[in-house]
Structure 1
Amino acid sequence: MTDIETPTGVLLGTYTPGTPEWEQARAGLCITATEIAAVMNLSPWSNPFVLWHKKSGLPVPPFVATPQVEWGNRLEPAVADKWADAHDGYGIESTGTWRHQDRDWQRATPDRIVYTNRGKTIELLEVKTSPTGEGWESGVPLHYYCQIQWQLDTLGLDLCHVAVLISGHDYREYTVEYDPDDAKLMRHAAAQFLNHVERGERPDIDDSTGTYDTIRRQADRYDAIDVEIPGPVAARYEATHQQLKAADAEHTQAKSLLLDALGNGRNARHLGRLIAYRTAHEDGTTRSLQPAR
């Protein structure tokens, strides 16, 4: 099947991730499905502060192609094939970047479009990989749920299948149904966010590493000058710095006490609960003391 049409989606094109064309389709004042969780402050990888700077054309921390990302991309076709094998009667196709027919700023790039009844029933398939099952115990993690709702709302579809491969061998399937109330909530948040970008109204500084790394990249020169800092900012920095030093010292002592009590052992437990574990060199001396996850 080709030339798939969806109720509200307009196909902009099919682009290779990382190419200038792909970046252009996602650039400017628009919100993509992978960005909506950041707008809602539910993303583990970004937040409104970082995304605001990106949409404003300001420097942000660079994307890091970790081994997890690389293998997720490499395994995506295999996981999609596994889903297709388990769902005879469905057609499955890769697709491109879409926008909503009435909202040019609403964009989505689903992993796959699947269909039955000669294309009369069109649904989505999202393919995920995860090194652990954390977050998948009771369904699709919330940030992925936001992504899927945004895709369904953009294309005007009712159902998305989710195929996930966990730890390289644990294959699972889920489904997410379209929720008009959740979609409306996200559309409102996205529209407000883009208005803030247009007005130059920056989100508040939060306590995340992403925000700190974004601020680090805003200075474009190094002026040998003095800058008068507001009292509350100066006081908070000095107080928390002293608290950090004290906490570091106290934690170092706590580690020494725990390691001393552990002796030649590996796992430190209290009433059966794992507290920490020791890794060792070949001669038995301690390499590190790791907290329990």
Structure 2
Amino acid sequence: MTSRILANPPAPGTAEWAKIVTASKAPALLGVSRFTSQYAAWHQLAGLIDVDMMDPDRAAWGHIAEASLADWWLHKRPGWQLNVARRGTKEIAYTNDDLPFPNLATIDRRALNRKMGMNNPDRFHIVECKTAMSLDDWGRPGEENAVPADYFTQVLYQMGVSGIHQASIVVLGPFSEPEIHEIEWREDLFAALVDQLAEIYVSTKTGNPPALDDSVSTYETVRGLHPDIDPEAEVQLDHAQAVAWLDAIVGADEAVRAAQLAKTEIADLMGNAKYARVGTTKIADRRSRSGKTPYVQFNKKADLAV
């Protein structure tokens, strides 16, 4: 495949950038993102809604964290070097002319091992840096499927577009030192990913969006598609559908109250105990942040099936 570096890639948030299949958009377009729905990503790629830009402070923190996480990777990988900054950034943007849609993969850092020789394709290595408030969605380094599907998809896309088939994700959780997860190159998965993205890209031209779903991201997208209010307009609803929608809204309110009661009751029952279990299965535990009053955290993954 023909991969090349873009000296001046389109800036995130611009109209040109919005219509390119980037590594950060690929997981959402494929429906595996935890943060953006397929419906929202499709409408952004189609140019029908504005792209939500990251909070400036959060973006700045991300770049600052990248530097320390990349240095941690380098600390654990003697013999490697990290790319130097060019044009004010250490990120490198690649595109692949062989893909059937406009594409862009921006990698946080590119490592180089000169001892491998200039003709060895393994001399380059992608270093992708992440921070996470929780590692509940992550496994331990080396475990199967340890990396969340959206991040795995993002890095696999980076590998395919750039032609660099070695990659690591360095993730900093809320505790201890960063973890390093190696990403295996899967040519078969990348080919399947490209086929799906090609179909999705074509659908943005033919006007066939994905179905609605229950994510907040999709709701915000629908809101953005209809920014005006016509005071003279109304729609008639099907009676059965209206009943179902009302039941869902009322049921959500009741569920919130039931969940609060459950927390209160189990907190009262636990007293000063750290854990609440059924046999050996942890149902909840009490936690404290910065020495403040403890709170109850339910274990949503608990399986009490007999």
Q: Which position in structure 2 is the counterpart of 1:8?
A: 2
Q: How does 1:85-124 map to 2 (within 5 A)?
A: 85-93=75-83, 94-103=90-99, 105-116=102-113, 117-120=116-119, 121-124=123-126
Which amino acid is 1:152 matched to? Answer: M
Measured after TM superposition, the shift of residue 290 of structure 1 is: 4.2
Report the CA distance between 1:270 and its aligned residue: 4.4
Unmatched 5+ residue regions in structure 1?
1-6
Q: Secondary structure at the match of 2:245?
A: helix
Partner-residue secondary structure (3-state), 2:131: strand
Q: Distance in 2 between matches of 1:288 and 1:223?
A: 49
Query: What is the alpha-carbon distance in structure 2 between the residues aligned to residue 105 and residue 33 of structure 1?
Result: 12
| Range with bigger deviation, 238-247 or 152-161 | 238-247
Distance 2:63 2:23 in 1: 17
Give the Å deviation of 1:190. Answer: 0.6
SS of match in other structure, 1:125: strand
1:177 aligns with 2:174: no
Decide whether aligned partners of structure 1 residues 176 and 259 sit closer, same or farther in structure 2, where only a CA change above 3 A counts. Answer: closer
Question: Could you tell me how far 1:252 is from its partner in structure 2?
Answer: 5.1
Q: CA deviation at 1:258?
A: 4.2
2:245 is the counterpart of 1:237: yes
Distance 1:241 1:23 in 2: 34
Contact 1:26 1:107 in 2 (8 A): no
TM-score of the aligned structures, taking structure 1 as reference length: 0.80
Whole-angstrom CA distance in 2 between matches of 1:256 and 1:89: 55
Measure how far apart 1:34 and its partner are. Answer: 0.9
Show the 5 A alignment for 1:42-53: 42-53=32-43
**Pair 1:216-2:228 in alignment:** no
What is residue 58 of structure 1 aligned with on the other side?
48
Query: Do the aligned partners of 1:26 and 1:32 also contact (CA within 8 Å) in 2?
Result: no
In the TM superposition, 1:115-154 aligns within 5 A as 115-116=112-113, 117-120=116-119, 121-134=123-136, 135-137=138-140, 138=143, 139-154=146-161
Decide which of 62, 80, 84 is 1:72's aligned counterpart: 62
Superimposed CA distance per residue, residues 119-147 of structure 1 (whole angstroms, 9 cap, x where no aligned partner): 43222221222233321433322211111
Root mean square deviation, CA, Å: 3.2
1:64, CA displacement in angstroms? Answer: 4.1
Q: Does 1:205 align with 2:197?
A: no
TM-score when scaled to structure 2?
0.77
Q: Which whole-Å CA distance do the structure 2 matches of 1:132 and 1:267 have between them?
A: 20
Q: 1:187 to 1:247 in 2, by over 3 A?
A: same
CA distance in 1, matches of 2:263, 2:78: 56
Q: Which amino acid aligns with 1:111?
A: D
2:234 alignment partner, SS class = coil
Deviates more, 1:57-66 or 1:205-214: 57-66
Residues 261/78 of structure 1: CA separation in 2 closer, same or farther (3 Å cut): closer
Residues 26 and 107 of structure 1: CA distance in aligned 2, closer, same or farther (over 3 Å): farther
- Alpha-carbon deviation of 1:14? 4.8
**Bigger shift: residues 93-102 or 228-237:** 228-237
> In the comparison of the two structures, how many residue pairs are matched?
278
Tell me the secondary structure at the aligned position of residue 225 of structure 2: coil
2:87 counterpart residue number = none
Stretch deviating more after TM superposition (83-92 or 199-208): 83-92
1:108: how far off?
Answer: 0.3
Q: Which amino acid aligns with 1:130?
A: A
Q: Which amino acid aligns with 2:4?
A: V
Residues 249/85 of structure 1: CA separation in 2 closer, same or farther (3 Å cut): closer
- Counterpart contact for 2:45–2:204, Cα < 8 Å: yes
Equivalent position amino acid for 1:129 in 2: T
CA–CA separation in structure 1 for the residues paired with 2:96 and 2:230: 46
Give the whole-Å Cα distance in 1 for the aligned partners of 2:51 and 2:237. 25
Unmatched runs of 5 consecutive residues or more in structure 2: 84-89, 300-306
**CA spacing shift, 1:25–1:127, aligned 2, 3 Å:** farther
Deviations 1:131-169 (A, max 9, x none): 333214333222111111101111222211232333364
C-alpha separation between the residues in 2 aligned to 1:12 and 1:76? 21
